[in-house]
Amino acid sequence: MKHGFIKVCTFSPEIRVADCGFNSDRIIELLDFAEKAEAKIAVFPELSVTGYTCADLFLQETLINSALKSLETIVNATKKYDMVSVVGFPFDFCGKLYNCSAVILKGNILGIIPKNHLTSMEKRWFAHAPAKNSPVMIFGQKTTFGNKQIFRCDGMDSFSFGVEIGDDMYSPIPPSSFHAINGANIIINTGSSLCTAGKSHIRRNCIKELSRRLTCSYIYAESGPCESTSTGVYGGHNLICENGELLGESKPFSQNTLVCDIDVTAVNLLRKHKNFRIKPSDDYTCTTFKTTLTDTLLERKYSKNPFLPDDEDKNEICREALEIQAMGLKKRLEHIHSDSAVIGISGGLDSTLALLVTVRAFDIMKKDRKNIIAVTMPCYGTGTRTKSNAVHLCEKLGVTLRTIDIKDAVSLHFRDIGHNPQNTNVVYENAQARERTQILMDIANAENALVIGTGDLSELALGFATFNGDHISMYGLNASLPKTLIRCVVTYCAENSDLDTGAILTDIVNTPVSPELLPSENNDISQKTEDIVGPYELHDFFIYYMIKFGFSPEKIYRMAKVTFGDEYPSDQILKSLKTLYNRFFAQQYKRSCLPDSPGVTEISFTPGIKWCMPSDAMGILWSETIDNITQED
């Protein structure tokens, strides 16, 4: 369970309706499978001991007694398993029959949870959960009966869970809401639902939304096709979700076993970021349990590009990103009564997206695109490919293009400050960036225009920008978009534009990222950013989990190895991680004086709003953690 990872299993076991002995044997067999998989939680469907579809047989004393005896067999079998098991069974309590789930660990029943929201047919046999918890004796053990319970692991507080049953989750305020408020990071649902056309889509969306709204891991196990078909068919649709993300799914009729790694630390940290209010209620019972804290073998799959949308949502999200940026720029232009914008265009990804957004904003305002002044400023390292793409794109978009060669101005500046132009150090590079910014600012003054910033989130995290150079603008359009997402949005624009513009945009996407500040031979790109700081897809992965969740470098490295191990060697991943943290702490002073920018993603470094950090904060704790990481970790 290192780093908060817990392996969990859901099952839709083979059952025989009303054959409790057969069903308990199958459950025990699957518990053995879960133990071998090193699971810490095993979840079975609603009324899995008897079968959900026993109907009026639930009113037969023989069935209820057999169910209790079979549950005792299961409880005794768990003495050798170091994991929490949640099993559905009917329970007779104080003269009423309840649809319940038993929480079991090492031969002990930690609690019995009755269902609260019954379907119309279930009311024929079962009673609603009582308003208050009650003590109860079962198999010689004292435990708690009631649905106001959470369970917490001794030694790992973040391993905490609550249980709801079946259609409880569809109620206006489901029990899981109260479980979360009382501190449960995991919600377990022992469910059973008819498989009707389209129901799996509804169920999936409901559980994803519950896990997002409650900021929790949600584990759902459902009855399978062995149930009686008198009134319908059951599909065994098992789901495991976390913070709105689908981690695993056994689609109807596909399989009876689902194994996933959940991350309770991610839940805890995200709740802190959201200021999620935990307020324990006096009527809730919290049961503490003990289990061995083991190092979970991480098998969870992560997206290599966590900022990027899923394929089915890609076009919609890229379109929304463009609209958010355009509407933000539109408001700023209207507020300062400006009809013009100035943008430095290099033929690279960032300035290309900024230009496309500016064009969109002017189209919305019904302003002449000629009022967009795109300035290309070639110097020592400018390549033919990027300059050509910049010029042709401006021509196709119908904006005003100005070409200002800055070689003479920069050379004069070198003479003024006594710098040898043969020395291609940081002075050599930054002088070009600052000269370009000066030109853009002065043109903006002359034209009553707004200077559009092009720097992106990845560069800001790394501090890969020239202070008082390309780091400064009057409005930073791309400041909350990482490089990987910018590439995605420009690709979307290429695929949804005319063929001529599309070909230019596609070539820009395929051009290596470069500041083009060093001299080149044969007008080729001699300075590639990713050769200096490392691959942007690695950095964007690091940034996402570092900023959104606050994960430790050690945990991020572990996740990155699982995700990128087939693409980058461990030493390269570790080197890039060190680069990010070293630069991140050293470059906060640049982020502390950024211009305004529209928040397009959840992460932004806009000062005082999205990211607050002292410019003089020491990164020694993080550096020491990274220094102690070995490639085998």
Confidence of residue 523 (pLDDT cuts 50, 70, 90): low
pLDDT confidence of residue 633: 67
Both structure tokens of 241: 């979700």
Both structure tokens of 138: 């079962």
**HSE-CB of 180 using CA atoms within 13 angstroms:** 24
Distances (CA, A) of 116 to 77, 211, 312, 587, 614: 29, 20, 36, 54, 49
pLDDT tens digits, residue range 31-84? Answer: 999 999 999 999 999 999 999 999 999 999 999 999 999 999 999 999 999 999
Q: What percent of the chain has pLDDT over 90?
A: 84
Both structure tokens of 388: 């050509």
Torsion of CA 384, 385, 389, 391, to 10 degrees: 0
pLDDT confidence of residue 294: 85
Strands 41-43 and 84-93: parallel
Q: What percent of the chain has pLDDT over 70?
A: 97
| Least confident span in 472-486, 566-580, 605-619 | 605-619
First-to-final CA distance of the chain: 14
96 touches 49 (CB < 8 A): no
Identity of the residue numbered 53: T
pLDDT confidence of residue 626: 93
Both structure tokens of 73: 């067999």
For residue 86, is pLDDT > 60? yes
Question: Residues near 236 by Cβ (< 8 Å), separated by ≥ 6?
Answer: 12, 222, 223, 224, 225, 250, 252, 253, 254, 255, 256
d(CA 392, CA 504): 8
Beta bridge partners of 234: 194
41 touches 185 (CB < 8 A): no
Confidence of residue 627 (pLDDT cuts 50, 70, 90): very high
d(CA 560, CA 545): 10
Supply the mean pLDDT for the chain.
93
CA angle 573-247-622, nearest 5°? 35
pLDDT confidence of residue 188: 98
Beta bridge partners of 86: 43, 103
365 touches 394 (CB < 8 A): no
d(CA 287, CA 161): 10
The string of DSSP letters for 376-401 reads E---TT--HHHHHHHHHHHHHHT-EE
Site of tokens 């928040």: 599
599 touches 614 (CB < 8 A): no
For residue 324, is pLDDT > 60? yes
Distances (CA, A) of 369 to 343, 345, 492: 13, 15, 21
User: What does DSSP assign to residue 463?
Assistant: T
For residue 317, is pLDDT > 80? yes
Question: Which one, of 81, 65, 63, lies nearest residue 27 by Cα?
Answer: 81
Identity of the residue numbered 432: Q
pLDDT confidence of residue 514: 77
For residue 426, is pLDDT > 80? yes
d(CA 248, CA 411): 60
For residue 526, is pLDDT > 60? no
pLDDT confidence of residue 141: 96
- Within 10 Å of residue 120's Cβ, how many Cβ atoms? 6
- Compute the average pLDDT of residues 451-459: 96
pLDDT confidence of residue 382: 81
pLDDT tens digits, residue range 210-231? Answer: 999 999 999 999 999 999 999 8
Site of tokens 């099993």: 87
Diameter of the chain measured on Cα atoms: 100
For residue 520, is pLDDT > 70? no
Strands 285-289 and 475-476: unpaired
As a residue count, the chain comes to: 633
- Within 10 Å of residue 423's Cβ, how many Cβ atoms? 10
**Coil/strand/helix, residue 589:** helix
Question: Which one, of 211, 296, 215, 212, lies nearest residue 259 by Cα?
Answer: 296
The string of DSSP letters for 272-337 reads HHHT------TT-EEEEE--------------S-TTSPPGGGHHHHHHHHHHHHHHHHHHHHHHTT
- 119 vs 451, more confident: 451
Domains of the chain: 2-289 (3.60.110.10), 311-627 (3.40.50.620)
Tell me whether residue 617 is exposed, middle or buried, using C-beta atoms within 10 angstroms of its C-beta: 0 to 12, 13 to 18, 19 or more. exposed
* Helix 483-495 vs helix 499-509: crossing angle, to nearest 10: 160
| Least confident span in 26-30, 346-350, 512-516 | 512-516
Confidence of residue 524 (pLDDT cuts 50, 70, 90): low
Question: Residues near 126 by Cβ (< 8 Å), separated by ≥ 6?
Answer: 58, 90, 97, 98, 99, 115, 118
Confidence of residue 499 (pLDDT cuts 50, 70, 90): low
